[in-house]
Structure 1
Amino acid sequence: MTDRFVSFSKDGQVRYGLHRPEGITDLWAEHGMRWPGLREVIAAGMLEELAAGAPKRVDFLEEEIRYEIPVTNPEKILCVGVNFPDRNEEYKDGQAAPANPSLFIRFPRSFVGHLQPLVRPPESPQLDYEGEIVLVIGKGGRRIAQEAALDHVAALSLCNEGTIRDWVRHAKFNVTQGKNFDRTGSIGPWLVPYRSEAQIGDIALTTRVNGAVRQQDRTGRMIFSFRRIISYISTFTTLVPGDLIVTGTPTGAGARLDPPVWLRPGDVVEVEATGLGVLRNPIVDEE
């Protein structure tokens, strides 16, 4: 079975461990003094060793814990926009796919973990979904060559890159506001250690709302490959262990339906990719 690392809260303490079909094996109790979180485990290159040496017991049932985003304190969360051919065509501006990736930054506070509610803010009803694959950097670097780029990946995860659509157009040149409302997106459900390019080279990525498929494509069709994304980003910023790169969403977000269909309280969004599990979140209004 694929190793699945989770970060979770129990009794007010953020911990980490392994997800098993029966429940959660707590690794923080034994290793937390040395590596307080998964970011530190990744930086030490210890994911594989911890998985191999983990006890088989179950310490907590899933209903006893609260999932957190897998890397709870990343230095950077960088997101790629417009990275599938049909997504570029949605803009109807007549322009060919860009020569370089479009990028923006998100803050950790804008994300919640698996099964936790995404929060629609009172400022806007236009909460939308975007299913994406996440690269977790394991080995830092600057100006990383494309041929070596995937050697810098420690693990993989999923993201619902939730967006407040009208707020991405509050200014002329940026999308920061609409991408960073607290608790509007999610990352998880877990980290899967990266072992070969076959895990992500051409896999299915699907987003469902209330069980209905809204987005579906394959990573082999991405405009910018995972290698290109890592190489390009590392040109201008030093990547460090635990950094998260959210790699782009297929066509089919609610904003592009006619008429647009926004997420509402009671909806459930699921993001699924081959071998990476299902990230599931309900929608609520902010209290």
Structure 2
Amino acid sequence: MKLIRFGEPGLEKPGVILTDQWLDVSAIVMDYNEDFFADNGLERLRNHLNSPGLSAGILPVVDPAVRLGPPVARPSKLVCIGLNYEDHARETGAPIPAEPVLFMKATTAYCGPFDDIIIPKNSSKTDWEVELAVVIGRKASYVDEASALQYVAGYCLHNDVSEREFQLERGGTWDKGKGCDTFAPIGPFLATPDEIADVNDLRLWLTVNGEPMQSGHTSSLIFKIPTLIAYVSQFMTLLPGDIISTGTPPGVGLGMKPPVYLQPGDVVELGIDGLGTSRQRVRAYAPASD
């Protein structure tokens, strides 16, 4: 299945993509949130959609012009993996990690796949990162690698937007450069594992203003998805709906000589095989009007 959430921010409804139609399932499902995944919601939704008495015509069609929100309701955690492609580590001058590098993105950074990226106040080094995101389907604590994929609800496209000065030049952890508002556009949809033939055989790409910047392949991940789920679950309990973002391939602005960063008016487009594409326009921070 492919799950979407549509509507204005904070008012999104759940939907599905069936035969290229967007269908409203809000009469069946409250939302794609922790309770949904924990209560075997994916299987129950699948069974409902496959029931003999249901035809696609019964479900309301969603106007494709409507805004798409992130495909999972705001999770309890966004856990990210740093330096998980060797070429990306090298371009940033960092050593190849012996263990996964973990950092967190604030859930207030979470936004839809076509929402604007807002350059933060006092930012001069806002950067892009295309990534494969994994959505957790059930509570995971001290998971072993052999069973780790049983905890996966699905996969999404993620732009791990980053402010490099905040991240690397302001002391402390990376988190302060990773959690700014709009720094986690996710979607357009969640694809359940049966939609992806081989998650280790997916191409990732990203362009800025139509110019290719990133091109990578999930086969190059240093730490594969079962390792990441098992590893993260040793340090924190992962709840249904939580997201692990698996790292970015080379081609980020920080790694260019000289570095190149996002400017107001830029357009970032990105995609992953089987997970669709997203597009964000960049704009400058402006105080909210009264």
TM-score (norm 2): 0.89
RMSD: 2.1
Moved over 6 A (4+): none
State the match for 1:73 in structure 2.
74
State the match for 1:267 in structure 2.
266
For residues 1-51 of structure 1, give each alpha carbon's deviation from its aligned partner in whole angstroms, at most 9, with x where no partner exists. xx321112259732111135765311113332xxx4343322222224424
* C-alpha contact (below 8 Å) 1:132/1:271 kept by paired residues: no
CA deviation after TM superposition for structure 1 residue 169, in Å: 2.4
Could you tell me how far apart the structure 2 residues matched to 1:92 and 1:151 are?
A: 35
Q: 1:200 to 1:12 in 2, by over 3 A?
A: closer
SS of equivalent to 1:177: helix
Q: 1:262 to 1:10 in 2, by over 3 A?
A: closer
For residues 65-104 of structure 1, give each alpha carbon's deviation from its aligned partner in whole angstroms, at most 9, with x where no partner exists. 32222222211110000000101212335x4x22111010
Moved more, 188-197 or 103-112: 188-197
* C-alpha contact (below 8 Å) 1:112/1:118 kept by paired residues: no
The one-letter amino acid of 1:119's match is I
State the match for 1:56 in structure 2.
56
Q: 1:179 to 1:197 in 2, by over 3 A?
A: same
State the match for 2:6 in structure 1.
8
Could you tell me how far apart the structure 2 residues matched to 1:70 and 1:12 are?
A: 12
CA deviation after TM superposition for structure 1 residue 196, in Å: 7.8
Moved more, 49-58 or 211-220: 49-58
Could you tell me how far apart the structure 2 residues matched to 1:11 and 1:180 are?
A: 18
State the match for 1:201 in structure 2.
200
Could you tell me how far apart the structure 2 residues matched to 1:230 and 1:196 are?
A: 20
CA deviation after TM superposition for structure 1 residue 182, in Å: 0.8
CA deviation after TM superposition for structure 1 residue 127, in Å: 1.4
Could you tell me how far apart the structure 1 residues matched to 2:47 and 2:260 are?
A: 45
Alignment of 1:1-287 (within 5 A): 3-10=1-8, 13-19=11-17, 23-32=21-30, 36-51=31-46, 53-54=48-49, 55-57=55-57, 58-63=60-65, 65-92=66-93, 95=95, 97-195=96-194, 198-287=197-286
* C-alpha contact (below 8 Å) 1:133/1:246 kept by paired residues: yes
Q: 1:11 to 1:196 in 2, by over 3 A?
A: closer
* C-alpha contact (below 8 Å) 2:195/2:274 kept by paired residues: no
For residues 256-276 of structure 1, give each alpha carbon's deviation from its aligned partner in whole angstroms, at most 9, with x where no partner exists. 112221112222212211111
* C-alpha contact (below 8 Å) 2:196/2:274 kept by paired residues: no
Could you tell me how far apart the structure 2 residues matched to 1:37 and 1:88 are?
A: 34
Q: 1:236 to 1:12 in 2, by over 3 A?
A: closer
TM-score (norm 1): 0.90
For residues 206-249 of structure 1, give each alpha carbon's deviation from its aligned partner in whole angstroms, at most 9, with x where no partner exists. 11212222111111111111111111101111112111000000
* C-alpha contact (below 8 Å) 1:141/1:238 kept by paired residues: yes
CA deviation after TM superposition for structure 1 residue 151, in Å: 1.0
* C-alpha contact (below 8 Å) 1:127/1:165 kept by paired residues: yes
The one-letter amino acid of 1:149's match is A
For residues 122-149 of structure 1, give each alpha carbon's deviation from its aligned partner in whole angstroms, at most 9, with x where no partner exists. 3113211000000000122211111111
The one-letter amino acid of 2:116's match is P
SS of equivalent to 1:206: strand
* C-alpha contact (below 8 Å) 2:135/2:242 kept by paired residues: yes
Work out the number of aligned pairs and report it. 279
The one-letter amino acid of 1:13's match is L
